[in-house]
Structure 1
């Protein structure tokens, strides 16, 4: 019997690098990425685009936060994001894409919430 290969049990779900939140699973991030692409479309009106995953109960929305701009030969756009589900968060960031490519989040951080008077 060889001990070279670890036995695959399937009990551990693959970890997905979802830059929005560690709470997002692979399907959450797939749905979120699709909504992000629509929200950031340079030809789009910059309206709020929502997504949800009934299986995980995660949901959220994206909105462009300004006009598209070019940086390092990529089209970039600032955005805001809201996440709801096991945890809630309001985020702001920037995503860029090469011509004809997919949007990639370049930076993301908690959104600054205005102080209440």
Structure 2
């Protein structure tokens, strides 16, 4: 392209610059844009997030596992959870199962309520419980679930209002 000096001078303040074509505009737009993309590299590309699963997702705090009772020591809890497993067994009689720990004096019982039900490839069941420890009695309602051949895990525990 050839431009004459008179044309540039008389055409206005920006006339000394030749008009940019479509390619120049595109290059300028790309250079001035602030786009970014995250590309997985190394070990992070093996993360579950890149495979379409949400295990690596952050930004939320998982709820702590519910506790049966804060009054129970480790041995009390071991005995109580064994009784809970027996009470909730889908092949069991559905009757109350009692437990006690003669060393601490803690004791209690679990009674399944309702039939077992499936959730996310787990078997779950509701229960009521009565726990006596440290000279107090707690009445509890809850739910527990287990995977095949696994221990029962508490999913919900709440105190029953008295009266």
Interval of TM-score (by shorter of Structure 1 and Structure 2): 0.7 to 0.9
CA distance in 1, matches of 2:106, 2:92: 25
Structure number with greater CO (CA < 8 Å, separation at least 6) is 1
Which structure carries more helix by proportion?
A: 2
User: Which of 24, 30, 36 is 2:78 aligned to?
Assistant: 30
Is the 1:18–1:29 Cα contact (8 Å) retained in structure 2? no
The equivalences for 1:27-106 within 5 A come to 27-86=75-134, 87-106=136-155
SS at match of 2:78: helix
Task: State how many pairs are aligned.
Answer: 98
Query: Which aligned segments of 4 or more residues in structure 1 are displaced greater than 6 angstroms?
Result: none
Which of structures 1 and 2 has the bigger CA Rg? Answer: 2
| 1:45 CA displacement | 1.2
Aligned 8 A contact 1:18 1:24 in 2: no
Pairwise CA distance, 1:85: 2.3
Partner deviation per Cα, 1:23-64 (whole Å, 9 max, x = no partner):
100000000011000000001111010000011100000010
Structure 1 residues 99 and 40, CA gap change in structure 2 (3 angstroms): same
CA distance, structure 1, for counterparts of residue 82 and residue 68 of structure 2: 14
Query: TM-score under structure 1 normalisation?
Result: 0.79
Query: Please, what TM-score do these two structures have when normalized by structure 2?
Result: 0.57
Q: RMSD value over aligned CA atoms?
A: 1.5
**What secondary structure does 2:156 align onto?**
strand
Which residue does the alignment assign to 1:7? none
